[in-house]
Amino acid sequence: MGSAAGVERESVPTDGLRGWAGVRSTQWVRVGSGVAAVAYLGHLIVCMVSWPAPVGDPWGEAFTFVACSVAFFIAPRHPSLGAGISIASVGAEVYLAAALVQNDWVASMPVLPVVVLAAGLFFGARAVLIASAAAIAIYPVVMFTAGRIGPAAGGLPPQELSRMVVISGALAGTGLMTWFALRSFARLHAEGEERRRLESRLQNAQRLQVVGELAGVAAHDFRNILGVVYNAASLLSTSSDPTARQLGEELLVSARSGQGITKRLLTLARRAEARREVIDVARAVEEIGPLATRLVGPYCTVAIATEGPASAVADPGEMEQVILNLAANARDAMGGGGTVSVRVRGLGKAEADRLGSTLSAPRQVLVEVADHGKGIAPELHEQIFEPFVTTKPRGEGTGLGLATVKSIAVGSGGAVALQSAPGAGASFRVFLPEAVPAPTS
């Protein structure tokens, strides 16, 4: 009998062993099919020895031997098909032998519960109940067709009644016990998987906490050093010497860049105190437009579309960080040339859910920054918001931009979503609960 567990690249039930990590369905099917093939080959040899009065059904057993052998060889590529062939062929042969072999007891009948068990192990707990019920229902039909019960046999002979009661009881017991066992094992397996996921999340949170502490300490020290550099650069930029003045201006640009990194680190470490209030996000983004245009450079354009007012509780400075970080990422994704689309509008929960929001607020504010660059691979969608994770080449990104965006959004009671595919660009969406603006006196 073929039975199996754990198929790769197939949709698997949660209540069957093949959905469990670490259990290989291919090997299970091959072992089950191989054992069935060898067993029927052995009985064929017995039939040949006892010829011309073979004990059993040699033609049916020959067919079952061939079917199980085929299942053995196709299992590596098609384990579900292999398991189905083995289970169906063995079950059919058991019924055929029961109908054709006229003796007091059919030795192959006890195999039926094993077939039911094999079906459950591979196809799941629900399948074992279906297989058990089907076997119980089909058995009297087969016996009636073969003339073992019914008018041709004078009703229901005691021998057949006894056989029917025993077989039906064995099938029902096997089905129910296998169903309960598989459900229990599946629940234990799910609890173990959930425990492992929680432990992994805890470890990641602990690592991020350590990184945040280190980032905060490093940012404060770096900010003190930058203060000295910034003051010196300011003095040089006012020098009458053109060379010194140019050097001072270049140092000022570097110092401002360093201050931006420091601010990101402090935000990531949750050391910076945000001043959140009800603001019109649409107006705030429009005011950031000129700065974003300068940031993306001369070969990129920033297209801002707002439908205001769109009020939310946020820090204007943090909103600036969100737009500038996402705009810079969009520019880099497009290779420095193209259009960065920024859109702000209010929307209802149904539309927000469709766009990827996880908030429960009935009205939400959407801040979306989209590009038509190379896109982001699906396997990176969950990791891309983690600190120090970047798709840029080494030395060209800190991996803090998107982590900062997520930190700001979550800190403001919002959420972040990404829609992207390789070659189809990327759309980063920040959702904030919509707030009622304070009345002006």
Query: Are residues 111 and 72 in contact, defined by beta-carbon separation less than 8 angstroms?
Result: no
The CA-based diameter of the chain, rounded to the nearest angstrom, is 123
Give the number of other CB atoms < 10 A from CB of residue 241. Answer: 10
d(CA 263, CA 269): 10
Higher pLDDT, residue 343 or 36: 343
- State the SS3 of the chain: CCCCCCCCCCCCCCCCHHHCCCCCHHHHHHHHHHHHHHHHHHHHHHHHHCCCCCCCCHHHHHHHHHHHHHHHHHCCCCHHHHHHHHHHHHHHHHHHHHHHCCCCCCCCCCHHHHHHHHHHHHHCHHHHHHHHHHHHHHHHHHHHHCCCCEHHHCECCHHHHHHHHHHHHHHHHHHHHHHHHHHHHHHHHHHHHHHHHHHHHHHHHHHHHHHHHHHHHHHHHHHHHHHHHHHHHHHHHCCCCHHHHHHHHHHHHHHHHHHHHHHHHHHHCCCCCCCCEEEEHHHHHHHHHHHHHHHHCCCEEEEEEEECCCEEEECHHHHHHHHHHHHHHHHHHCCCCEEEEEEEEEEEHHHHHHCCCCCCCCEEEEEEEEECCCCCCHHHCCCCCCCCCCCCCCCCCCCCHHHHHHHHHHHCCCEEEEEECCCCCEEEEEEEEECCCCCCC
Mean pLDDT of 132-138: 87
Contact 280, 309 (CB under 8 A): yes
Phi, psi of 396, rounded to the nearest 5 degrees: -115, 0
CA atoms of 181 and 179, how far apart (whole Å): 5
Backbone angles phi, psi at 216, to 5 degrees: -65, -45
- Read off the pLDDT of each residue in 319-331 and give the average, rounded to a whole number: 86
How do the domains of the chain map onto residue ranges?
17-198, 208-268, 277-433
pLDDT digits (tens, 9 = 90+) for 244-281: 888 878 787 777 777 766 766 666 555 445 678 888 99
**How does pLDDT run across 170-192, given as a tens digit for each residue?**
888 888 888 888 788 777 777 77
- Please give the structure tokens belonging to residue 381: 């969608």
Neighbours of 96 (CB within 10 A): 19
C-alpha span between 43 and 41 (Å, rounded): 5
Distance in angstroms (rounded) separating the CA atoms of residues 9 and 404? 36
Residue 399: closest CA among 389, 408, 391: 389
Predicted confidence at residue 93, as pLDDT, reads 80
User: Does 345 score more than 60 pLDDT?
Assistant: yes
Give me 115's structure tokens.
């077939």
- Mean pLDDT for 7-28 is 49
pLDDT at 8: 35
Which of 51-60, 88-97, 170-179 has maximum average pLDDT?
A: 170-179
d(CA 174, CA 164): 15
Per-residue confidence band for 209, with pLDDT thresholds at 50, 70 and 90: low
Tell which CATH architecture fits domain 277-433: 2-Layer Sandwich (3.30)
Per the prediction, the chain carries an average pLDDT of: 77
Strand partners, 358: none
Q: Which two tokens stand for residue 382?
A: 């969950």
52 vs 206, more confident: 52
What is the structure's pLDDT at 274? 60
pLDDT of residue 351: 92
